[in-house]
Amino acid sequence: MKLKVCGMRDLDNCQRLIAEVQPDWMGIILYPPSPRYVPQHLAAHIQGLQVEKVGVFVNESLENIKKNIVDFGLSALQLHGTEAPEFVENVKNETMLEVLKVISVKDKINWTLLEKYLPWTDYFLFDTYTKQHGGSGKQFNWNLLEDYPFEPPFLLSGGIGPDDANTLKQVKPKLPKMAGVDINSGFEISPGLKEIEKIKGFKRKVVSC
């Protein structure tokens, strides 16, 4: 399973993550209201880090997404708002980067609504619905994903913490399209600052399964 560690911001913390965990992706939040927002003055430093960088956007303009791709050296885009399929199509066509479209889950998933995203989406990312769009620390009912009907793989997100490693290993066989997990606030000392030892332990348990 792949591992995405999201909401990274502190440069020393990023460097330790890369050296000691080697995640498949490091996510940076480019949504100003978030407590994990990465300001522009850190762009050159983040760009220099040797890791696949995912920019997390919430209903951002295509123009600003393009600017951030260059400034931060992004290789993938996580669209974490209510972006319409037509917008996702534009983003894919204009950037040709990997696109992760987030689906915010309440108590059920309307699979038909997801169909229009399929041609432009490399991964769906399922997260718990919250008014803040993400980083809620809350889980949704993962059983809903047992009905996942599509070909593209997905990432599981929302409130995953160190204690979920065993449950994840148990649910994995029931979710054959789950390509990986996305972790964030469940491994934090404070917003944007991660506990690297805990991530290492989690990776040892989960990623090999």
Q: How far apart are CA 83 and CA 55, in angstroms?
A: 15
Q: Name the residue number minimizing CB distance to ligand LGQLAAA5.
A: 134
Is position 104 an interface residue for ligand LGQLAAA5 (rule: CB under 6 A)? no
DSSP result, 192-204: TEE-HHHHHHHHH
* In contact, 33 and 132? CB cutoff 8 Å: yes
* Site pattern 66..95 for ligand LGQLAAA5 (x: CB under 6 A): --------------x---------------
Site string for ligand LGQLAAA5, 50-69 (x = CB under 6 A): ------x-x-----------
Which residue in this structure is represented by tokens 């939040």? 29
CA proximity to 78, closest of 128, 116, 122: 122
Taking CB under 6 A as the rule, does residue 192 contact ligand LGQLAAA5?
no
Query: Nearer Cβ to ligand LGQLAAA5, position 49 or 76?
Result: 76
CA angle at 169 for the pair 158 and 187, rounded to the nearest 5°: 40
For residue 29, the minimal CB distance to ligand LGQLAAA5 (Å) is 5
Distance CA 181, CA 198 (A): 15
Half-sphere exposure in the Cβ direction for 132 (13 Å, CA): 13
Question: What is the footprint of ligand LGQLAAA5 within residues 138-157 (CB under 6 A)?
Answer: 157
Count of residues engaged in binding ligand LGQLAAA5, rule: CB under 6 A: 26
Half-sphere exposure (CA, 13 Å, Cβ side) for 66? 10
Q: Cβ closer to ligand LGQLAAA5: 129 or 150? A: 129
Residues that bind ligand LGQLAAA5 (CB under 6 A): 6-7, 27, 29, 31, 34-36, 56, 58, 80, 127, 132-137, 157-160, 182, 184-186
